[in-house]
Amino acid sequence: MPLISYVEKRFSAASLDLIRTADAICADYASQGFDLTLRQLYYQFVARGFIANKQTEYKRLGSIVNDARLAGLLDWSYIVDRTRNLRGLSHWDNPGSVIQSAALGYRTERWADQPHRVEVWIEKDALVGVITDVCRRNDVDYFSCRGYTSQSELWGAAQRLRLYEREGQKPVLIHLGDHDPSGVDMTRDISERLALFGANVDVRRIALNMDQVEEHQPPPNPAKLTDSRAQGYIRAHGRSSWELDALEPSLLDRLVEDEIWAWRDAALWDRATRAMEQERSLLERVSARWDEVSAFVGGSS
């Protein structure tokens, strides 16, 4: 765990208490395989009643967390920025290593024979990391809408989903978003525009829904009155709104997996997985005996 001190800083007793609490929360999530954005950490503080749900408290937490990391009091790996990432090409030491990499990453299209074809869409780019593991475990494609999905992206998605239909599969789109005037409306917008573009898709909003708000009691925010959809939302749900970030990552992981499994034929999946593993094993054997393979191929030229 990288606790690295770059600067010396003095903290008040209250700030040290906050840092210790942040460390405990982050360590708990790390033990479950999750990291957190600053926004998610903030909502864990609010949900536990440690700080008030105010923008000033969010900024204060961010400032203290930043100083704590610089001072070596908080693990650098605990807090992540999922919106900024370095991209580049992969490299290998030798041909054998690329075969080994191919074996580790070998996947067949196990959804090809399924009666349904599932995708997961989430409103916020900052929460993509929360659904990445569960989607990869289940070999499901996933997508960050970044608010209202662009016309170009929705049209392209409709063409992709229509192709699944032509191949005999029913497309299912799992959607997650905030429970606020725009976040709730986005599910309707996705469904209607996909239909406009000719895609017959079952759009399933699995979070954040009012029954989950009532069960898990995430901290509320005032509904944005400047949102053009505010009046209709207030009539239906009242003046409070809730952010998806406030739900625990483990809960979101479970919600997504349960919904995926509801649409997946387990027997077909297991059969396809066994066939894939046999083919992966072949690649692993080639990698393990690469020197012999290389000598054979080189000697036959």
| pLDDT tens digits, one per residue of 231-265 | 999 999 999 999 999 999 999 999 999 999 999 99
* CA quadruple 199, 204, 205, 210: dihedral, nearest 10: 140
SS3 146: coil
Confidence of residue 11 (pLDDT cuts 50, 70, 90): very high
Q: Where are the domains positioned within the chain?
A: 13-70, 115-264
The 10s digit of each residue's pLDDT in 163-201 is: 999 999 999 999 999 999 999 999 999 999 999 999 999
The dihedrals phi and psi of 173, each to the nearest 5 degrees, come to -115, 115
- How is domain 115-264 classified at the CATH fold level? Dna Topoisomerase Vi A Subunit; Chain: A, domain 2 (3.40.1360)
For the beta carbon of residue 286, count every other beta carbon within 10 angstroms. 16
**Mean pLDDT within 118-147:** 94
The closest of 111, 201, 121, 205 to 165, measured between CA atoms, is 201
The 10s digit of each residue's pLDDT in 64-108 is: 999 999 999 999 999 998 877 778 888 888 888 888 888 888 999
**Mean pLDDT within 273-283:** 95
Q: Specify the pLDDT at position 13.
A: 97
Residue 120 has pLDDT above 90, yes or no: yes
SS3 206: strand
Q: Specify the pLDDT at position 1.
A: 63
**Mean pLDDT within 271-295:** 92
Cα–Cα–Cα angle for 181, 186, 192, rounded to 5 degrees = 130
Which are the contacts of 26, defined by CB distance < 8 A and separation ≥ 6?
35, 36, 41, 74, 75, 78, 79
The structure's pTM equals 0.83
Q: Based on the number of CB atoms within 10 Å of its own CB, is 15 exposed (0-12), middle (13-18) or buried (19 or more)? A: middle
Burial 89-106 (b: 16+ CB within 10 A, else e): eeeeeeebeebbeebeee
Residue recorded with tokens 């090809």: 112
Q: Are 157 and 219 in contact (CB under 8 A)?
A: no
Please list the residues that pair with 142 across neighbouring strands. Answer: 120
Q: Specify the pLDDT at position 301.
A: 47
